Amino acid sequence: MSSASVPVARELVRRKPPASVRRRRFLLGVANHSLLIVTAALFIAPFVFIALTALMTNDQALSSHLWPHPFRWQNFIDVFHRSPLWRWTLNTLIYSGLATLGLLISSIPVAYALSRMRWRGRNAVFMVVLIALMLPPQVSVIPLYVMWAKLNLVGTLWPLIIPNWLGDAFSIFLLRQFMLTIPQEYLDAARVDGCGEFRILTTVVLRLAKPGIAAVALFSILYTFNDFFLPLLYTIDAPNKWVVSIGLEQFRSLHQVQWNLTMAATLLVMAPVIVLFFLAQKAFVEGVTLTGVKG
Amino acid sequence: MKRVAIGLALTLVLCAAAAGAVAKTNALAGTSSAKATTLTVWVGWSQRELKEFKKITSEYDAKHSDVNIKVVGGINDDKIIAAIRSGKGPDVVSSFTSANVGNYCSSGGWIDLSPLMKKDHVSANLFPKTSQYYTQYKGKRCALPFLADVYGLYYNKTLFRKAGIKSPPKTISELTKDAKKLTQRKGGTIKVAGYDPFFGQYSGNAPDMTTYAPLYGAKWTDSGGNSALSKDPQWSKFLRWEKGLVDWYGYDNLVRFKGGLADEFSSSNGFEIGKLAMMMDGEWRVAFIHAEHPNLNYGTAPMPVDDAHPELYGAGYVNGTIIGIPKGVKHKDQAWALVKYLTTNSHPLAKFSNGIRNVPTTKASLNSHEIKPDAHFKTFLKIFANPHSATSPITAVGNAYGTLVQAFAVKWQAGHVKTLSDGLKKLDKDIDNQLKQAGKGVP
Amino acid sequence: MSLTPVAETGAATTVAPVTDRRRARRRAAWRRRRFVLLLMSPWIIGFSVFFGYPLVFTAYLSFTHYDLLSPPRWIGIANYQYLFHQDPQVWGAVKNTLWIIAIAVPLQVLSAFGIALMVARARRGIGMFRTVFYLPALAPPVAATLGFVYLLNPATGPVNVVLRHLGLNGPLWFQSPGWSKPSLVLLGIWGVGNVMIIFLAAILDVPKHLYESAELDGAGPLQQLRWVTIPTISPVILFSIVIGVIAGLQYFTQAYVAADIASGQASQAGDQTVNNYGYPEGSTLFYPVLLYEQGFRHFNMGYASALAMLLLGVAFAVTLFIIVNSRKWVHYATPEG
């Protein structure tokens, strides 16, 4: 259909649309832009208010004043004095780092096996991976807790880290989708060159799948940073192992709700991720798009 | 495919077997050792109150060279259970939630202390009756009381004078009258609340509705041992009064007021900064005010009681800190020695009581001359000794029924319960079901 | 391919190479299978230990009374009887979870789609707008929830203060059982940035010629949206609905934190000796929160396992439904990879 009408369409497109249409398009554009600005302002507003509260004194934070009088930059330092934010951050880094490392090491081979190797039962296993992905973690949490308790590891970060060293369904899924796009020619060329299967994986596939791996790593870091449920289960009774998410939630009860300090702590917790975003914007956006397009 | 399936099945079977083997492992029984052992003590106190506790334990430490006491504060009941379960429990543990003793005793989480008490000739009658009650379940004594909590009325004398009120209210109707007189509003917003009856406001460490039970003489259970909230008319009388006062303030207004109040245990506590003219609170508040607002002109008195039962005046709600030895303890004898010292020796009881202004829990320590007199605190000692003072029932589910009760109370005050009697009947049924589910009945 | 070996004996020169080739191929296939097993081994172990075993054991525990201090005691179907007939909280929790799925997911998908449409149409500053809408999605859930509870404080929170200046009496937000879930939905909408980006990429990817042909056929902007945009990006729409539903079935953190903070009770040990789950009045008691409360607060592990089995059943049914019907609903422009 299209090929037949292309010459006609091209002619029509070249002609300028009538003034009424142009005016309508312009008005729509203006309306769109203004709506966009209003919505964007609404989305930024919470950050602004949180920041303003973070700079108030405690009594001001409990009053209806919106603007700090004076600006108490001291609050950010107070947060560090009143709470072991450094330790929480260290714990979070340990959790994030070790989990992401293990996740990559264990998931890449699995994704490769599921995408580029042919074997019986491959599709069935992939279906199982998909199903595991969709089921809520709460269904498996009780026996796992009992198991970790008997192994004496409750109150440490190991119950959070170790599962990631044995494959993660979401990463496997994403990496597999990505590896499917690697042209077979590269792999065949490597095989012809006499590369063993293992070397193909480590040299060719790893290099070609780098954007996918970067996306998966980024997601893992984000997920572990934001994780609340698992740390709540396993480390709530061991304050020296708290991660940032638990620490922030407990912050208010540790030091008798001071909203100004709590908001300052909230900002401090939001900051690293936002900074990371600005540094790795491209990877972020590509990664997120990847999930949606390949999902 | 087949090979993968067999591999999977094998791994599953192996894991199941391993899990079964692990589950059968028992915790080591406690044994005593002779060298200088480290005793770990877990308590719920933190900050200032924790410091006071550490003073007591360092005294014991100095006198006993064979033990070294390590104190961990800020512990709550989940941490206790988690630790006992994983076998990494402390040697001595204490909890603010005396209602959970039913849980600890029936499950064996805290060991039975009766054989140890018999060996050392420690009689349960050293302790007041109420404290005896909330440290055992169905005859099994797995805890001892370690300072008690008593609830009474705090009132702001300055605001009283301004409103022309001469003395604290003794009956509920007087309380209502005074509360209305003392309330200051600006437009629709409450600036100062005379008495805030809102469930969920400040609550110390007990669900609010239960703290009013002794003031009305309301009974929790009937003769059959079933929940009696719908059968004893005193509960409905109390709830209707509470809602009446909430509606007078305006439910929404009270919610907004609550949102603008600082945290209960902060130095900007609503009563301490004059936003609440009267408040029901525990005896510990005396120490907090002394430390944070020593110039506050206030008084303490027993809570007002039901007009129809003036003989109840002087009573109050009682619960307390309980202390015990968890299952799987490694140094049982030393742990018991410490527990015995803390709970029966008048010296640490009196000293600690002075420090955190909690009520001492032996008849001897109540009369100890070491207790530093304090007019505000004396009120609570009197309430504790009053025969009508009572605590909440100890059940096998521990404090879980308190959850149901408070959920109902909160719904009631918001006006979301259609008929009070029907609502209470359902609450009774739910509580009975919950207890049956636990495998045991209401004690 | 393998080389034909030189026959040792004179006879059967044609048979030997064939069997050798077959043997060599079988050996290669066996080596390859072993390699696959090696590659898959972490997942096999992980799946068995962290997925298979827990599922089986949860099923077992659901027929027991287990409080973690003494071994599990078999009680048959008593837990299920309590669940279906006597638990006063469970059906409220089910309703809450269904509510959040039925209301929050469509609203979030619509917001993400709407915002993506607007951003796609903007002439200038697409990058900047994209950043602005994505940033809130980056905020850690605990931090975002804390912020929102504070912002929506009925008396002194900025939102109600602003509303008051405008002459409106703001609702009680997280303090009102009727408004607490909508407040959570608002929080969710604030964080649609990551879905929005996916929508944006998909919208920008729609081939222009489709729009041109539609315009030729006389379609206005609304009709273009209905007949060109939406069908073309339908895989993304389905994807966002699916992850929305999955997230809804697991919804825990925001509800837990919001109830805890909004109820504003802090005892000294920083613990809740009074119940805060579902504050206010059980309106934020979602199914996963109830499961946590029963299993890890009241230590009714047997009963919590029964709750988990019910959740598993529902999640499995939903998953199956999605997988079976996904092809029907989605309009793929190119065959699946």
When pLDDT is cut at 50, 70 and 90, the band that residue A27 belongs to is confident
Query: Given an 8 Å threshold on Cβ–Cβ distance, is A138 in contact with C308?
Result: yes
The stretch C19-28 carries a mean pLDDT of 81
Task: Kindly report which listed range (A156-160, B314-318, C205-209) carries the lowest average pLDDT score.
Answer: C205-209
Helices (H) and strands (E) in chain B, counts: 19, 11
* B373 inside 8 A of chain A by CB: no
Domain locations along chain B: 19-149+318-385, 151-312
CB-CB neighbors (< 8 A) of B202 in chain C? 265
CB B391 within 8 A of CB B206: no
| Mean local confidence (pLDDT), A189-209 | 76
Name the band, by pLDDT with cuts 50, 70 and 90, for residue B439. Answer: low
Distance CA B22, CA B16 (A): 10
- The verdict on a CB contact (< 8 Å) between C266 and A257 is yes
Tell me how many domains chain A contains.
2
Residue A110 shares a structural domain with residue A175: yes
pLDDT band of B10, cuts 50, 70, 90:
low
CATH number at residue A223: 1.10.3720.10
| Total count of domains within chain C | 2
C57 & C97 share domain? no
Cα nearest neighbour of B46 on chain A: A254
List chains touching C (3+ CB pairs under 8 A): A, B
C-alpha A36/C-alpha B394 separation (Å) is: 60
Q: Is residue A154 part of a domain?
A: yes
Same domain, A139 and A178: yes
For residues A201 and A135, state if they share a domain.
yes
Mean pLDDT for chain B overall:
84
* B118 pLDDT above the threshold of 60: yes
CATH number of B19-149+318-385: 3.40.190.10
Distance from CA of A159 to the nearest CA of C (A): 11
Nearest to C263 by CA among C189, C185, C180: C180
**pLDDT at residue C304 in the model:** 93
Question: Is C333 in the A-facing interface, judged by CB distances under 8 Å?
Answer: no
Domain check: are A209 and A70 in the same one?
A: no
In a domain, A279, yes or no: no
Please tell me the least confidently modeled range out of B108-122, B167-181, B309-323, C155-169: C155-169
Please name the helix (run of DSSP H) or strand (run of DSSP E) that holds residue B324, with its range, or none: strand B318-324
pLDDT at C116: 92
Give the residue from A50, A77, A104 where a domain finishes.
A77
Tell whether A72 and A94 lie within a shared domain.
no
What is the least distance, in Å, from the CA of A244 to any CA of chain B? 19
B189-228 per-residue burial string, b: 16 or more CB within 10 A, e: under 16: ebebbbbbbbbbbbbbbbbbbbbbbbbbbbbbbeeeebbb
Rounded CA gap, B162 and B346, in Å?
42
Suggest the residue from B261, B263, B327 to mutate for an interface test with chain A (most A CBs closer than 10 A): B263
Do C271 and B77 make contact, defined as CB atoms within 8 angstroms? yes
Residue of chain C minimizing CA distance to B427: C88
Q: How confident is the model at residue B263 (pLDDT cuts 50, 70, 90)?
A: confident
Q: Report pLDDT digits (tens) over C33-71.
A: 888 888 888 888 999 999 899 999 999 999 998 877 778
- CA nearest neighbour of A287 among C99, C281, C198, B38: C198
Q: Is residue C80 part of a domain?
A: no
Percent of chain A at pLDDT > 70 equals 88
CB B130, CB B113: distance < 8 Å: no
Indicate the residue of C68, C78, C155 with minimum beta-carbon distance to B256: C155
The 10 Å Cβ neighbour count of residue B48 is 14
Whether A266 maps to a domain, the answer reads: no
Distance CA C299, CA C292 (A): 9
Q: Does residue A136 lie in a domain region? A: yes
- B76-110 pLDDT, tens per residue? 777 787 777 766 778 999 998 888 888 888 878 89
- The confidence score (pLDDT) of residue B410 equals 86
Name the band, by pLDDT with cuts 50, 70 and 90, for residue B276.
very high
Provide the token pair at B277: 């003219």
pLDDT of residue B18: 44
User: Chain B neighbours among C 230-249 (CB < 8 Å)?
Assistant: none
| pLDDT tens for each residue of C152-171 | 988 888 898 889 889 888 89
Chain C interface disruption, residue of A43, A52, A177, A290, most C CBs within 10 A = A43
Name the domain boundary from A223, A238, A254: A254
Which has more confidence, B183 or C17? Answer: B183
When pLDDT is cut at 50, 70 and 90, the band that residue C94 belongs to is: very high
Q: Which is more confident, B115 or B258?
A: B115
Are both C39 and C186 inside the same structural domain? no
Top-level class of domain B151-312? alpha beta
- Whether residue C307 is contained in a domain is answered as yes
C183 and C234 assigned to the same domain: yes
C218 and C144, same structural domain? yes
Question: Is the peptide bond between C141 and the residue preceding it cis, with omega within 30 degrees of 0?
Answer: no
Does A26 lie in the same domain as A139? no
Point out the least confidently predicted range of A283-287, C222-226, C292-296: A283-287
Residue C223: pLDDT above 60?
A: yes
Return d(Cα C196, Cα C110) in angstroms, integer: 10
Instruction: Give CB contacts under 8 A, 24+ apart, made by B230-236.
Output: B230/B421, B230/B424, B230/B425, B230/B427, B230/B428, B231/B428, B234/B306, B235/B424, B236/B420, B236/B421, B236/B424
**Residue A281 domain-assigned (yes or no):** no
Out of A105-119, A140-154, B27-41, C226-240, least confident range: B27-41
Contacts of C26 (CB under 8 A, 6+ apart): none
Nearest CB to B86; choose among A120, A152, A252: A152
A133 and A31 within one domain: no
pLDDT at B428: 92
Closest chain B C-alpha to A241 CA, distance in angstroms: 14
Across the interface, which of C45, C190, C198 has its CB nearest the CB of A292?
Answer: C198
Instruction: Give the domain extent around A35.
Output: 8-77
| Closest Cα in chain B, distance from residue C140 (Å) | 24
Residues A185 and A68 in one domain: no
Strands (E), C37-193: 64-65, 73-74
- pLDDT at site C266: 47
Does some domain include residue A284? no
Q: Tell me: do C191 and C146 sit in the same domain.
A: yes
- At B340 the pLDDT is 93
* Residue-wise pLDDT tens digits, B64-79: 988 999 998 878 777 7
Q: Are B359 and B286 in contact (CB under 8 A)?
A: no
A273 contact residues in C (CB cutoff 8 A):
138-140
Shortest CA gap C319–chain A (Å): 7
**What angle is formed at CA A171 by the lines to CA A170 and CA A176, rounded to 5 degrees?**
105
* CATH number for the domain that contains residue C302: 1.10.3720.10
Confidence of residue A68 (pLDDT cuts 50, 70, 90): confident
A224 and A209 within one domain: yes
Could you give the residue ranges of the DSSP H alpha helices within B250-345?
Answer: 251-259, 285-292, 332-344
Is residue C191, in this structure, part of any structural domain at all?
yes
Same domain, C99 and C226: yes
User: pLDDT at position A15, please?
Assistant: 64
* Residue C146 vs residue A1, higher pLDDT: C146
Q: Look at B263 and A256 and tell me if their CB atoms are within 8 Å.
A: yes
Within a domain: A286: no
Which residues from C are below 8 Å from A143, CB to CB? 53-54, 57-58, 61
Based on the fold, state whether residues A130 and A244 are members of the same structural domain. yes
Q: Is B86 on the interface with A (CB under 8 A)?
A: yes
CB A268 within 8 A of CB A89: no
CA B61 to chain centre: 28
CB A88, CB A244: distance < 8 Å = yes
| pLDDT given at position B348 | 92
The confidence score (pLDDT) of residue A12 equals 52
Same domain, C213 and C130: yes
Residues A17 and A142 in one domain: no
Read off the pLDDT of each residue in A45-64 and give the average, rounded to a whole number. Answer: 84
A2 assigned to some structural domain:
no
A85-116 vs A74-82: helix crossing angle, rounded to 10: 80
Residue C45: which domain range? Answer: 5-61
Mean pLDDT of B307-333: 90
Q: Is the pLDDT of residue B337 over 60?
A: yes
Q: By the CB < 8 Å criterion, does A237 face chain B?
A: yes
Interface with A, mutate which of C32, C40, C100, C161 (most A CBs under 10 A):
C40
B84 in reach of chain A (CB within 8 A)? no
What pLDDT does C8 receive?
A: 44
CB-nearest to A152 from B88, B260, B267 is B88
Pick the last residue of a domain from A77, A112, A131: A77
Please name the amino acid found at residue C191.
G
Structure tokens at C197: 């980006």
Do residues A107 and A53 share a domain? no
**Which of A175-179, B176-180, B313-317, C17-21 has the weakest average pLDDT?**
C17-21
Please check whether residue C299 touches B, CB under 8 A: yes
- Tokens, residue A168: 């993660």
Do C176 and C226 fall into the same domain? yes
